[in-house]
A and B are shown apart, each in its own frame.
Chain A
Amino acid sequence: GAVVSQHPSWVICKSGTSVKIECRSLDFQATTMFWYRQFPKQSLMLMATSNEGSKATYEQGVEKDKFLINHASLTLSTLTVTSAHPEDSSFYICSASPRGRGSLSSYNEQFFGPGTRLTVL
């Protein structure tokens, strides 16, 4: 199956600093990547949809100036948490969907990365 990696797998930073998380599709080209956030014992909440070569689409309530998303190539999307604060501590998961137009019988599957645990002190 398709493989998606995330780097780093965990990161600890000081309040006020910025942190960049990378999401890579290793064996396929991803037109679209999605960024999710998961608090402990809760579900995944979509933060934004990232399309290669265009601006990301953010979900309601997500600060686009705080969570910067760059989808510079068909295999890489990055999420930068700017001026991180303790309330930004969470588990961040990306998923990637292969290039191509899906039909009703062949949907655009999402392949998930292993996630990144961010702790802001």
Chain B
Amino acid sequence: AQTVTQSQPEMSVQEAETVTLSCTYDTSESNYYLFWYKQPPSRQMILVIRQEAYKQQNATENRFSVNFQKAAKSFSLKISDSQLGDTAMYFCAFMMYTGTASKLTFGTGTRLQVTL
């Protein structure tokens, strides 16, 4: 079974600064995907970024980037130029590749507060 661990229950960052959220996971699979989801107060789950495990290059989406260390089973999220709208719960998630729809395993989440 796969497990996802987020060791930072809460973090705070000032507007325009950079913050890194940590995530580690455990799996014996070689083909899988990793995700960061954002859940704002509305509670709608929003995909922030994804990483295919077979790709060595770290994924980037505008101000969001990841540091994927496959051997260390680490998948951190860096948010640059933080904005007030980034305030939310952030969940790291794992999906095994099966060729069809597969379930997501979520970490416990990190609550990020962006302050003025």
Q: Out of B52, B100, B108, B109, which one reaches A108, CB within 8 Å?
A: B100
List chain B residues, Cβ under 8 A from A112. Answer: 44-45
List chain A residues, Cβ under 8 A from B95. Answer: 107
| Contact between chains at A44 and B103 (CB < 8 Å) | no
Query: Does residue B64 face the partner (Cβ distance < 8 Å to A)?
Result: no
| Contact between chains at B43 and A107 (CB < 8 Å) | no
| Contact between chains at A107 and B52 (CB < 8 Å) | yes
Query: Does residue A67 face the partner (Cβ distance < 8 Å to B)?
Result: no
| Contact between chains at A107 and B97 (CB < 8 Å) | yes
B residues with CB within 8 A of A: 31, 33, 42-45, 47, 50, 52, 54, 91, 95, 97, 99-109
A residues with CB within 8 A of B: 31-32, 34, 38, 42-46, 49, 91, 93, 95, 97, 101-105, 107-110, 112, 114-115
Listed from nearest, the 4 A-B pairs whose CB atoms lie closest are: A97-B101, A32-B101, A112-B45, A108-B101
Task: Knowing that A34-B101, A49-B101 touch, tell me 13 more A-B residue pairs with CB under 8 angstroms.
Answer: A42-B109, A43-B107, A44-B45, A46-B105, A91-B43, A95-B45, A95-B104, A101-B100, A104-B31, A105-B52, A107-B97, A108-B101, A110-B104
